[in-house]
Structure 1
Amino acid sequence: MFPSIPAESLVKVRGCDIQRGKWRSYYDGAVTRDSTSFDIDHLVPLAEAWDSGARRWNAETRKRYANDLGDRRSLVAVSASSNRSKSDQDPAEWMPDLGQCQYVRQWVAVKIRWTLKVDAAEKRALLAQAKHCANTTVTVRRAATGRSSSGPASGTARSPQAPAPSRGSDPQFSYCYQAIAAGYGPYVRGRDPEYAWYTDSDGDGRVCE
């Protein structure tokens, strides 16, 4: 089975046990002393990273992304409720109630750090929000990324007789990486009805590669 990023984020932390503290979620302003009420959020969600280029990475790169402690913007402590609200959405679909300018800066920094693509709707949302923010210089140290030597998974597409639902409505899988892991894809524009179920971020006529 083709590995997915979420499985690689479950790395047990050793040598550090925080007993007490105070946390503030900049997504919604929630403050707590109970760490169990907060989540560690991947600022750019794992599924979003996968669709933006991580599907082509090797296992080591995916693991480093999922556990990136090299840039404090990659992983943020936020209230569990705001993290659930965000889920795996990009800025075109979700923005925090507070700290939108900080969120835009951090989102762009993480995407640059990991050389991840930005789709058209995402870019429009980022630019629209940035107009309301002060000019800021963002410094980024790029992370090294390695490509998978095995290439994308291949398989037989599902029955073409099934009517194609609207984009993003695959009845069997929520994300491309799940379809790939099950042996499906890539889907080609003009050939596979499944193509309409996913976003072709790079416009090459292929999805779930």
Structure 2
Amino acid sequence: MASSITIQSPVNLAQQHAAASAKVRALTTDQQAPEEQVESGIDQTGNIKEIKSPSPRDDSVFQAKADAELRLITAKGRQNSAKIRDFLREQVAFLEKTDPVPARVLEGDEAEEARRLISTLRANIVTEDGMKGYIVDDLRYDLRPDGTITVNVAAVPSSEAQKQERLSGFSDTLTRLESLTGGLSQEQLQKNVASAQQALELAQSAQTIDIQV
């Protein structure tokens, strides 16, 4: 934003400096331009030239920037939600067409090797009955309280009950994500992010003005 005002030529540089300072203070309310900014606005011949000054403390300007920042955060959050939503959609589609495969009980050396493998790992799954599940290289190892250890492909349910439990959990999460994303695609939400970023840049630029005297 530019503002043009006229200043009568002072008889000397000191008077002109003081006049320029007064005009800058009037235009910037409680923000006084730094001394070096005022001095740089006077050329070697004593004429006043363009002065750059901080913008006035206009609450609407600061509110616009805050609103733009919130809009950008929201847009990015919705885009991330869409990524999770699309992943879960793939998981649901996979589960619906996949038959359960019972977990295989490990015994002897194979069981001992599996125990050594998971001994230094943190459990990915812990159930109320004390069973601990570990995901390693697409395989799931379940260590039960009685010491029994089983293995199965992590993405494949080991029973129909487990399959339905996963589908139910995915369905509930998908319902929330669909609401958050409004059903928009990742590409559409990316455009919203770009638009919000542009709005923020415009709001930020509005906090700096050029004052011409």
TM-score, normalising length: structure 1: 0.19
More strand by share: 2
Higher RCO (Cα < 8 Å, 6 or more apart): 2
TM-score, reference length from structure 2: 0.19
Larger Rg: 2
Of Structure 1 and Structure 2, the greater helix share is in 2
